[in-house]
Amino acid sequence: MNAYNDFYINEAQDWLGEYLETSVYILNMELKESWRRFIMSNYSLNFAVGNPFTICGKSGTEVALELFGKTVDKLPFIYDRTPEYWLGWAIAYYQWIKNIPFMFITNKVDIETILLMYKKYHEMDITHFCDEMDRLIKLHKSETNLKMMRLSRGLSQKELAEITAIPIRTIQQYEQRQKNINNAQANYVFVLAQALSCSPKDILEY
């Protein structure tokens, strides 16, 4: 099942492509920092479920200026689409068709690694890019989504245990994959997601 109605996908691809293009080419920000700002923002969570107020409310350029606290009197015109634009365009499509969080995607395949795929895949049908992303994600073993979300919020395992009243040993077992969080009690998943200000699916494994 796709992340949201296909009515919005073209706008979504343009939105994210514009965000990365503006961040890197106009604001001169590092790609990794540009991506980090996006996935740590509420825009990422709303975007991933196709919230039309996110996709159609502000342009990707406006959001880039907002997240970096910048103002520009006159935006320069970019004559040709950049690799960074393609990067946002392609990731937006992959997130939509797979219905998985952006953070999960780039925890498995680094954002700069995906950018390197531009040379080979930017003129191909998008399905070839998606197939390669599937392959790379299957090859990569990394931190659990729970640990990644916890660290991104600046919490220790002890602090998360205290906030949620879940035993610290249980949290450790989920993070070390000694227990499968997908089989956790529903109330555990809910309180963990609530404590981490994310959706329950953001801490499940795929």
Within a domain: 111: yes
Within a domain: 28: yes
**Which pLDDT does position 145 carry in this prediction?**
86
**Which pLDDT does position 161 carry in this prediction?**
96
Distance CA 121, CA 31 (A): 19
Distance CA 148, CA 104 (A): 9
Distance CA 191, CA 179 (A): 17
Within a domain: 156: yes
Task: Give yes or no: residues 124 and 152 share one domain.
Answer: no
DSSP state of 22: I
Nearest 5 degrees, angle CA 187-CA 152-CA 65? 120
**Which pLDDT does position 87 carry in this prediction?**
98
Question: Max Cα separation, the chain?
Answer: 56
Q: To the nearest whole number, what is the mean pLDDT of the chain?
A: 89
Task: Give yes or no: residues 56 and 95 share one domain.
Answer: yes
Task: Give yes or no: residues 44 and 120 share one domain.
Answer: yes
Within a domain: 183: yes
Regarding pTM above 0.85, the answer is no
Task: Give yes or no: residues 22 and 120 share one domain.
Answer: yes
Which of 174, 169, 167 shows the shortest CA–CA distance to 149? 174
**Which pLDDT does position 29 carry in this prediction?**
95
Which of 45, 59, 71 shows the shortest CA–CA distance to 17? 59
Task: Give yes or no: residues 99 and 166 share one domain.
Answer: no
Task: Give yes or no: residues 95 and 196 share one domain.
Answer: no
Task: Give yes or no: residues 19 and 57 share one domain.
Answer: yes
**Which pLDDT does position 155 carry in this prediction?**
87
**Which pLDDT does position 72 carry in this prediction?**
75
Within a domain: 48: yes
For residue 144, pLDDT over 80 is answered with yes
| Domain end (from 96, 111, 139) | 139
- Beta-carbon contacts of 21 under 8 Å, excluding residues fewer than 6 positions away, are 60, 78, 81, 82, 84, 85, 88
Within a domain: 190: yes
| Domain end (from 120, 139, 158) | 139
Instruction: Tell me the pLDDT tens digit for each residue of 77-119.
Output: 666 789 999 999 999 999 999 988 898 899 888 899 999 999 9
Task: Give yes or no: residues 157 and 114 share one domain.
Answer: no
**Which pLDDT does position 60 carry in this prediction?**
92
**Sign of the C-alpha dihedral, residues 190, 195, 201, 206?**
negative
Distance CA 188, CA 35 (A): 29
Task: Give yes or no: residues 113 and 12 share one domain.
Answer: yes
Instruction: Tell me the pLDDT tens digit for each residue of 28-81.
Output: 999 999 999 999 888 888 888 878 777 778 899 999 999 999 887 777 766 678
Within a domain: 1: no
For residue 8, pLDDT over 90 is answered with no
Task: Give yes or no: residues 78 and 170 share one domain.
Answer: no
Task: Give yes or no: residues 160 and 184 share one domain.
Answer: yes
**Which pLDDT does position 192 carry in this prediction?**
95
Task: Give yes or no: residues 103 and 160 share one domain.
Answer: no
For residue 141, pLDDT over 70 is answered with no
**Which pLDDT does position 53 carry in this prediction?**
75
Per-residue pLDDT, averaged over 178-186, amounts to 92
Q: Which domain holds residue 127?
A: 6-139
Tell me how many domains the chain contains.
2
Which CATH number does the domain housing residue 154 bear? 1.10.260.40
Distance CA 58, CA 42 (A): 13
Within a domain: 93: yes
For residue 197, pLDDT over 90 is answered with no
More confident residue, 30 or 152: 30
| Domain end (from 139, 170, 192) | 139
